[in-house]
Amino acid sequence: MKPTILALAAFIGFAPVAIADNTPVYLDKNKPLEERVEDALSRMTTAEKIDIIHAQSKFSSRGVPRLGIPDVWTTDGPHGIRPEVKWDEWDQAGWTNDSCVAFPALTALAATWNPEMSALYGKSIGEEAAYRNKDILLGPGVNIYRTPVNGRNFEYMGEDPYLAGRMVVPYIKGVQANGVAVCLKHFALNNNEVNRHTTNAVIDDRTLYEIYLPAFKAGVQEGGAWTIMGAYNLYKDQHLCHNQYMLNDILKGEWGFDGAVVSDWGGCHDTDQAIHNGLDLEFGSWTDGLKAGRKNAYDAYYLAGPYLDQIKNGKVGTKELDDKARRVLRTIFRTSLSKDRVRGSMCSEAHYDAARRIGDEGIVLLKNDGKVLPMNFDKPGKKMLVVGENAVKMMTVGGGSSSLKVQREISPLDGLKAALNGVADVEWVRGYVGDVTGEYNGVTTGQDLSESRSKDELIAEAVAKAKDADYVVFVGGLNKSAHQDCEDSDRAGLELPYAQDEVIAALAKANRNLIVVNISGNAVAMPWVKEVPAIVQGWFLGSEAGNSLADVLTGKVNPSGKLPMTFPTSLDNVGAHALNAYPGVKRADSDIVDLEYKEGILVGYRWHEAKKAKPLFAFGHGLSYTDFTYGKASADKKEYSGSDIITVTVPVTNSGDRAGAEIVQLYIGDPKSSVMRPVKELKGFQKVFLQPGETVDVNFMIDKSALSFFDADAHAWKAEPGEFVVSVGPASDNIKSTVKFKLK
């Protein structure tokens, strides 16, 4: 081709010759990550490296404007994208386009026992984060449910490390596929809210590695979490936001974490420790993550001026700084400057549909005597009475940093009215008065829950109405107020607040078709459990709460959720409380509270089974509107070498009259071992959807890791030769079949 035509062709884009591409390596989204990181680092000054490792505002840290590297924006939280706050305040910025979808709380996600729901959740919330130009989503949380009174359990995934680990991985992958980083939290041992800034966890290695680390390890090594949040508390007398043992030795050393460690807001307390003990990105100093901090203190942050001064006066080199800067740059090139970053979407019908599906699958049918549920309105003129403040109270506002400003929240009453419109007469009465406030961080619910009548008047009204209703649905439980399901405080006990037990007992006498729906992220005591025929664990389900609840109560959806935590009958059956190992002992000479994990690995069902204590409702418990029958479990080997896979198979049949899903659980016990081991531990689960009459062979592939305990002396996982017992069933307290094999 003639040169002129060639030039013309090149100009209009049919360039057979490569046009000189002078995009610098660090900005070239097709270049390998590490090349981009090193190129950018080589161009940065020391001051610029300091700039990018600490906050510049409440929720952002500085990029490198000179190089076209953008600021990093973070956002709460695990259930939805927090509304914008002012540059350096917790107060609302007053945007009118930052309302979001509230997805179900992570306890509800865990209760689905369905990794596909986690993937859907991560994708959806990641799209909302991307749309709001957020680079780091401050979640998910996987702190283990050590005590039912922990205020933040609703943000986490229950008591079992295996379940939490399986369920957190798809969430992380789903979020990060959008070019948004998760920030796995709160690493680690932040298992209660009281004294959360001063609690020093005293815990043996075996318990740490078997119970409290696995979900984080899965999130880092299988989920590929790009950032992780240091917790507020201490471990071995060092704050977790700069902790040699947890961050350098375990996270970055043993696990090979290559991302950035982000401090919790106000979790950084010391420059030297922050430099040397693994912190990469400092946020929120001089605030407790909830209240105001020192105004515009950003240049005074521990990793800001004080750090730069140490470098300038030769007290410290730049090796640590380069490592921190690399990790922040890696995060930037994985997010805002990644070719995978999506435009995202906010409040789409797809996201509402996702929230509803997760809620539908997360609701747990705890009891259904006489098959009161699903409600039957075939005959006209039916009446349903709904009782309780939680039938109407907004639950997406409050609870701490996971609080949201939603575009919509369908209350249980709204959902039931919509579902039964034209089918039955639905009436609501207050029943009890709980928390009439409705504001968090400047976001208000707009509800007026004020009430002048007395407790007895409210109960009398409810009982009178209940007498001639076909169904009574009591919607109560906890809420997002302090000392309930809320950050920065714990509950005083298991009991339901606001004299709800009295209301429930009275209603049980007035109507035998009473259904109690418990809205909470935690186990509660149920002294009326024998008098109430139907009980549903409703969780905090967010924007689609009422629709999901109505789906299940009307039978449109067959419930399939199972408990991700034990509901104990009393705190006496919870190791942390039985051994007086909560909330810890304050030191005489400082504000540090030593909290010894005396119960060790015996958390939740592990404790109940070791002590032969019967729970109110067991870990893994959840009923269906259909029935499932289990055949005999079998293993493909009687003797197992430990080097390959052993397959356990169990046939499961839907022997009922409607389609449904069963979560088949597999537990493994090591009856004779050199160390104390739990009776059995969850090592597999599968959710199978079956038509009536359908049978499926459920196969579990087991490897040696499923048989192992952590040998602290050897600092290694160990499986001892001998007999192992595999137990399979629909709940930890409902084993249908066992099979034994010998590890050679």
- Residue 531, classified by CB atoms within 10 Å of its CB into exposed (0-12), middle (13-18) or buried (19+), is middle
Give 289 or 359: the residue with its C-beta nearer to ligand GLC.
Answer: 289
The C-alpha angle with vertex 320 and arms to 317 and 321, in degrees rounded to 5, equals 85
Rounded Cα gap, residues 679 and 568, in angstroms: 17
Residue 381 CA, chain-centre distance (Å), reads 42
Rounded Cα gap, residues 559 and 368, in angstroms: 11
Give 265 or 625: the residue with its C-beta nearer to ligand GLC.
Answer: 265
235 binds ligand GLC (CB under 6 A): no
Nearest-10 Cα torsion for 48, 257, 223, 269: -60
Q: Helix, strand, coil shares of the chain as percentages rounded to 5?
A: 30, 20, 50
CA distance readout (Å), 439 to 63, 287, 442, 448: 34, 20, 6, 11
What residue is closest to ligand GLC based on CB? 289
230 binds ligand GLC (CB under 6 A): no
Residue 494 CA, chain-centre distance (Å), reads 21
401 binds ligand GLC (CB under 6 A): yes
Half-sphere exposure at residue 624, Cβ-oriented, CA atoms within 13 angstroms: 27
- Residue 32, classified by CB atoms within 10 Å of its CB into exposed (0-12), middle (13-18) or buried (19+), is exposed
Rounded Cα gap, residues 541 and 412, in angstroms: 10
CB of 220 to ligand GLC, least distance (A): 18
Rounded Cα gap, residues 152 and 194, in angstroms: 10
CB of 421 to ligand GLC, least distance (A): 39
Give 140 or 622: the residue with its C-beta nearer to ligand GLC.
Answer: 140
CB of 242 to ligand GLC, least distance (A): 16
CB of 269 to ligand GLC, least distance (A): 14
- Mark whether 264 is an active-site residue: yes
Rounded Cα gap, residues 545 and 551, in angstroms: 10
Strand partners, 516: 474, 535
Rounded Cα gap, residues 739 and 728, in angstroms: 9
CB of 490 to ligand GLC, least distance (A): 14
434 neighbors 478 (Cβ within 8 angstroms): no
Three-state DSSP state, 654: strand
| Catalytic-role residue among 76, 98, 264, 551 | 264
- The per-residue b/e assignment along 442-474, b for 16 or more CB within 10 angstroms, e otherwise, is ebebeeebeeeeeeeebbeebbebbeebbbbbb
CB of 624 to ligand GLC, least distance (A): 35
Give 225 or 494: the residue with its C-beta nearer to ligand GLC.
Answer: 225
Rounded Cα gap, residues 681 and 698, in angstroms: 19
CB of 564 to ligand GLC, least distance (A): 20
CB of 245 to ligand GLC, least distance (A): 21
Site for ligand GLC in 59-98 (CB under 6 A): 76-77
129 binds ligand GLC (CB under 6 A): no
Kindly state the number of chain residues that form the binding site for ligand GLC, as judged by CB under 6 A: 9
Give 200 or 441: the residue with its C-beta nearer to ligand GLC.
Answer: 441
Give 156 or 333: the residue with its C-beta nearer to ligand GLC.
Answer: 156
Site for ligand GLC in 260-299 (CB under 6 A): 264-265, 289-290
Q: Which of 690, 699, 700 is nearest to 560 (CA)?
A: 690
419 neighbors 413 (Cβ within 8 angstroms): no
Give 261 or 463: the residue with its C-beta nearer to ligand GLC.
Answer: 261
Site for ligand GLC in 165-194 (CB under 6 A): 185
Site for ligand GLC in 654-683 (CB under 6 A): none
CA distance readout (Å), 107 to 163, 261, 301, 362, 364: 11, 25, 35, 8, 11
CB of 122 to ligand GLC, least distance (A): 17
CB of 185 to ligand GLC, least distance (A): 6
Contacts of 646 (CB under 8 A, 6+ apart): 635, 636, 637, 640, 701, 702, 703, 741
Rounded Cα gap, residues 203 and 194, in angstroms: 18
CA distance readout (Å), 195 to 32, 76, 115: 44, 22, 34
Residue 148 CA, chain-centre distance (Å), reads 15
CB of 147 to ligand GLC, least distance (A): 18
Give 76 or 98: the residue with its C-beta nearer to ligand GLC.
Answer: 76
Give 193 or 210: the residue with its C-beta nearer to ligand GLC.
Answer: 193
560 neighbors 548 (Cβ within 8 angstroms): no
Give 149 or 363: the residue with its C-beta nearer to ligand GLC.
Answer: 149
Q: Which of 482, 405, 383, 397 is nearest to 151 (CA)?
A: 482
Give 77 or 415: the residue with its C-beta nearer to ligand GLC.
Answer: 77
Rounded Cα gap, residues 13 and 19, in angstroms: 10
274 neighbors 268 (Cβ within 8 angstroms): yes
Rounded Cα gap, residues 411 and 45, in angstroms: 53
Q: At how many degrees (to 10) do helices 500-510 and 455-466 cross?
A: 20
CB of 228 to ligand GLC, least distance (A): 12
CB of 549 to ligand GLC, least distance (A): 27
Site for ligand GLC in 509-538 (CB under 6 A): none
138 binds ligand GLC (CB under 6 A): yes
- The per-residue b/e assignment along 131-165, b for 16 or more CB within 10 angstroms, e otherwise, is bbebbbbbbbbbbbbbbbbbbbbbbbbbbbbbbbb
Per-residue contact string for residues 556-595; x = within reach of ligand GLC by CB under 6 A: ----------------------------------------
Give 233 or 569: the residue with its C-beta nearer to ligand GLC.
Answer: 233
For 446-504, the three-class secondary structure string (H helix, E strand, C coil) is: CCCCCCCCCHHHHHHHHHHHHCCCCEEEEEEECCCCCCCCCCCCCCCCCCCCCCHHHHH
Q: Which of 596, 599, 543, 541 is nearest to 573 (CA)?
A: 599
Give 55 or 478: the residue with its C-beta nearer to ligand GLC.
Answer: 55
Rounded Cα gap, residues 159 and 576, in angstroms: 13
Q: Catalytic site residues?
A: 264
Positions in the binding site for ligand GLC (CB under 6 A): 76-77, 138, 185, 264-265, 289-290, 401
